[in-house]
């Protein structure tokens, strides 16, 4: 990812340096909206929602934070004494993490996980990062590969968004558009924009809780419990079978 494509990372880097920045999310049906913005990625534990705090009580052992952003959770766990590794596909996000003091922050994509045989006990996919799988097929493939980097009793703590919890016509129309083109209704194609930067288009997978349970079948993982919120977001504690 070059500088002009690293819109998310540039927004994080600018917020870290100047305390200003924003993000625009553009969907492939021309729908656009403001994201919560880079400020969210720098919040302290006391500002985090309750479903984060409940989920993080399950963290154990060696931790991998997938899509670590500015490192808010990885830094929190590092400071709590956990050996924590953060990865992101944004060069400037990783630069921001390192500047903020994360000891192990690596530029790495979800599909290229390689840690020299060292195993993790907890995988984090927060910030709706369960969606980074992109599609049902890719999710099942990646979940099977996770076994290579996980201990026998490892867990995944994942935040996801239930796309079905909406009555917005613009979103319901998009779900129909996806069905018409033989895509999962919650598989959204988006890109991030900031100043003159724009990321490549990528797919983000949104699933209901039932769809997540079905998706996990045959991957060697299963849902231990869900943590609900007062919105469409939810947290899943996923364990090895």
Q: In sequence order, what are the residues at sequence separation of 6 or more whose Cβ sits closer than 8 angstroms to the Cβ of residue 166?
A: 172, 232
Question: Do residues 60 and 122 make contact, with C-beta atoms less than 8 angstroms apart?
Answer: yes
pLDDT recorded at residue 101: 98
Residue 87 has a pLDDT of 98
Contacts of 52 (CB under 8 A, 6+ apart): 73, 126, 235
Q: Would the pLDDT of 40 be above 90?
A: yes
Among 37-41, 56-60, 151-155, which stretch is predicted with the lowest mean pLDDT?
Answer: 37-41
Give CA–CA dist 211/85, Å, rounded: 29
pLDDT on residue 170: 98
pLDDT at residue 1, rounded to an integer:
86
pLDDT (mean) for 104-129:
95
Alpha carbons 37 and 8: distance in angstroms, whole number:
9
Q: Tens digits of per-residue pLDDT, 157-210?
A: 999 999 999 999 999 999 999 999 999 999 999 999 999 999 999 999 999 999
Tens-digit pLDDT profile for residues 42-78: 999 999 999 999 999 999 999 999 999 999 999 999 9
Fold of domain 47-185+206-240: Rossmann fold (3.40.50)
What one-character DSSP code corresponds to residue 48?
A: S
Would you place residue 37 in the very low, low, confident or very high pLDDT band (cuts 50, 70, 90)? Answer: confident
> What mean pLDDT do residues 106-131 have?
95
The residues spanned by each domain of the chain are 47-185+206-240
* pLDDT, mean over the chain: 97
């Amino acid at each position: 990812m070059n500088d002009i494509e690293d819109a998310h990372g540039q927004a994080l880097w600018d917020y870290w340096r100047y305390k200003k920045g924003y993000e625009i999310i553009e969907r492939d049906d021309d729908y656009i909206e403001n994201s919560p913005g880079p400020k969210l990625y720098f919040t302290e534990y006391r500002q985090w929602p309750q479903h984060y705090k409940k989920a993080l009580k399950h963290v154990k052992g060696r931790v991998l934070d997938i899509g670590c952003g500015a490192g808010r959770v990885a830094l929190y766990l590092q400071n709590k004494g956990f050996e924590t590794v953060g990865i992101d596909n944004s060069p400037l996000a990783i630069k921001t993490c390192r500047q903020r003091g994360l000891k192990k922050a690596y530029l790495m994509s979800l599909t290229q996980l390689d840690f020299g045989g060292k195993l993790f006990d907890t995988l984090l996919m927060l910030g709706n990062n369960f969606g980074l799988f992109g599609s049902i097929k890719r999710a099942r493939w990646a979940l099977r590969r996770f076994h290579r980097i996980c201990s026998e009793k490892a867990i995944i703590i994942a935040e996801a968004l239930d796309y079905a919890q909406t009555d917005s016509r613009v979103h319901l129309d998009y779900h129909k558009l996806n069905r018409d083109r033989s895509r999962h209704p919650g598989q959204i194609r988006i890109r991030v924009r900031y100043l003159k930067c724009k990321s490549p288009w990528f797919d983000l997978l949104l699933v209901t809780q039932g769809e997540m349970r079905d998706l996990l079948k045959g991957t060697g993982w299963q849902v231990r419990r869900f943590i609900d919120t007062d919105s469409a977001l939810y947290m899943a504690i996923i364990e090895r079978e």
